[in-house]
Amino acid sequence: MGPHARWTDVGLGVATVAVVGAAVTANVRGDGTPAVAYLFAVGFGALMWVRRSQPVLALVASGIGLLGYYALGLPPIGLALPVGAALYSAAEAGRLRWAVGSAAALVVISSVARTLGGEDPGYLYAYELPTTVAVMAAVIVLGDGVHTRRLWRAEVGARLAEEAERRVQHERLALARDLHDVLAHTVSAVTLHADVAAEALDDGDPVAARTAIGRVRQASGGAAQELRGTLAALRSEADGVSPPLGVLARLGDLTAGAPVDLTVEGRERPLPMVVDATAYRVVQEALTNARRHAPGRAVRLTVSYRPAEIGLRIVNDTVAAPAGPHGYGLRGMRERVGLLGGSLRAGPAPDGTFEVTATLPAEAVA
């Protein structure tokens, strides 16, 4: 418990002592005021010290103390004033039934005892009882309201924490996909060009070998650049560094040194960044699979700009078995596209080729 809460308890205790002490001093009966009455006032206030750790104990002790006070014939101090703080504390701590039950028991016991004692029923039931019940109900409702609001805040906090954790997991998954896409494409490109270099050396063609080795260097450098960009974006979006974007702007990096026939349909236009990046990754993964399972075979890539979407079609001239249905590549492509409300299909085409088609919603951006 912090210092603020402790000072609040002290304030409630002092207020209880002051209010009950004032009622004792007023002594509407007009007879003498025994000093023991003030000790009761101090006792009611002292119970506020344990109202947080033992709210039921503070409430029960206050009720028993109040009954004992009246049993000794001490000056009247009402019902609500001595136990109001205890009722509030019990309701605030979530002990609503205890608060309501204790208040009802005190009202019933007091009313019966005072009626049997000969007090005026008109004054007792028409004025004092409604006032007492109203005050008790008010402090109980107030305490329960504070308790309910605290629970609501805790629930909201838990939901925010859960949402933050979900976003972290989403970012981790996105990072894993990016790393897989970059590294898988790079490894495939490096393997392909290394094989070309080896064959060129065997054929005594150093120029072709140097060209292939240059392609290896280019692919490795591009992968390193993309990884640096991804890590920089994770550090701070405010730095203005983004993951590699641009379907057409970067397609040359993907198709370099490979037999890819590129066709663009429709009028090119800027795309939303997330759509642009997703389209790029789909093309990258599809070309990687083609190089892995059908190396050297021609690939046809079609990018179609439509009014409200962009279509991608990657076709291998020879059927190539892609990563299995549980592979990270194909599953990652489907997840990426699905998150944007698009669709993706990958499988053998009727003409005997292997085809990957994807459609992404892509309204034009300024």
The 10s digit of each residue's pLDDT in 248-283 is: 566 766 666 667 888 889 888 877 777 887 888 888
pLDDT number for residue 140:
94
Mean pLDDT confidence for 282-308: 84
Q: Which of 236, 259, 254 is nearest to 244 (CA)?
A: 254
Q: Specify the length of the chain in residues.
A: 366
pLDDT number for residue 277:
79
Task: Determine the Cα–Cα distance for residues 18 and 210; give it in Å rounded to an integer.
Answer: 95
pLDDT number for residue 255:
64
Q: Which helix (H) or strand (E) holds 47?
A: none
Secondary structure E strands in 150-276: 260-265
Mean pLDDT confidence for 286-312: 85
Task: Determine the Cα–Cα distance for residues 113 and 67; give it in Å rounded to an integer.
Answer: 10
Q: Which helix (H) or strand (E) holds 309?
A: strand 309-316
pLDDT at 358 exceeding the cut of 90: yes
pLDDT at 4 exceeding the cut of 80: no
Cα separations in angstroms, 47 against 78, 85, 144, 317:
18, 9, 20, 86
Task: Determine the Cα–Cα distance for residues 210 and 215; give it in Å rounded to an integer.
Answer: 9
Other beta carbons within 10 angstroms of residue 47's beta carbon come to 25
DSSP 349: -
pLDDT by residue (tens digit) across 190-221? 777 788 888 888 888 888 888 888 877 777 76
Bridge-based pairing state of the strands 309-316 and 299-305? antiparallel
Domains of the chain plus CATH, in order, are: 3-119 (no CATH), 245-366 (3.30.565.10)
Q: Which of 284, 286, 313, 285 is nearest to 300 (CA)?
A: 313
Six-digit token pair at 293?
């399972």
| Phi, psi at 17, each rounded to 5° | -60, -45
Mean pLDDT confidence for 142-151: 92
pLDDT number for residue 160:
81
Cα separations in angstroms, 127 against 130, 132, 216:
6, 9, 95
| Phi, psi at 200, each rounded to 5° | -65, -40
pLDDT by residue (tens digit) across 27-44? 766 677 788 989 998 998
Task: Determine the Cα–Cα distance for residues 271 and 269; give it in Å rounded to an integer.
Answer: 6
- Say which range, 210-214, 313-317, 326-330, 360-364, has the weakest mean pLDDT: 326-330
pLDDT at 364 exceeding the cut of 60: no
| Phi, psi at 318, each rounded to 5° | -125, 140
pLDDT number for residue 324:
46
- Say which range, 101-110, 206-215, 237-246, 345-354, has the weakest mean pLDDT: 237-246
Other beta carbons within 10 angstroms of residue 120's beta carbon come to 12
201 burial via Cβ count (<10 Å: 0-12, 13-18, 19+)? middle
User: Model confidence at 237, in pLDDT bands (50, 70, 90)?
Assistant: very low
pLDDT at 142 exceeding the cut of 90: yes
How many helices, marked H, and strands, marked E, lie in the chain?
Answer: 11, 5
Query: What percent of the chain lies above the pLDDT cut of 90?
Result: 19
Cα separations in angstroms, 307 against 7, 248, 265, 303:
66, 17, 12, 13
Mean pLDDT confidence for 179-186: 66
Task: Determine the Cα–Cα distance for residues 244 and 277; give it in Å rounded to an integer.
Answer: 7
- Between 241 and 339, the more confident residue is 339
311-331 core/surface letters (b: 16 or more CB in 10 A; e: else): bbbbbbbebbebbeeeebbbe
pLDDT by residue (tens digit) across 47-68? 888 888 899 999 999 999 989 9
pLDDT number for residue 318:
65
| Phi, psi at 295, each rounded to 5° | -65, 135
- Between 313 and 121, the more confident residue is 313
Q: Which helix (H) or strand (E) holds 237?
A: none
Please enumerate in sequence order all residues whose Cβ is within 8 A of that of 351, keeping only pairs 6 or more positions apart, or say none: none
Mean pLDDT confidence for 174-181: 66
pLDDT number for residue 278:
83
pLDDT by residue (tens digit) across 72-118? 888 888 888 888 889 999 999 999 999 999 999 999 988 888 788 77
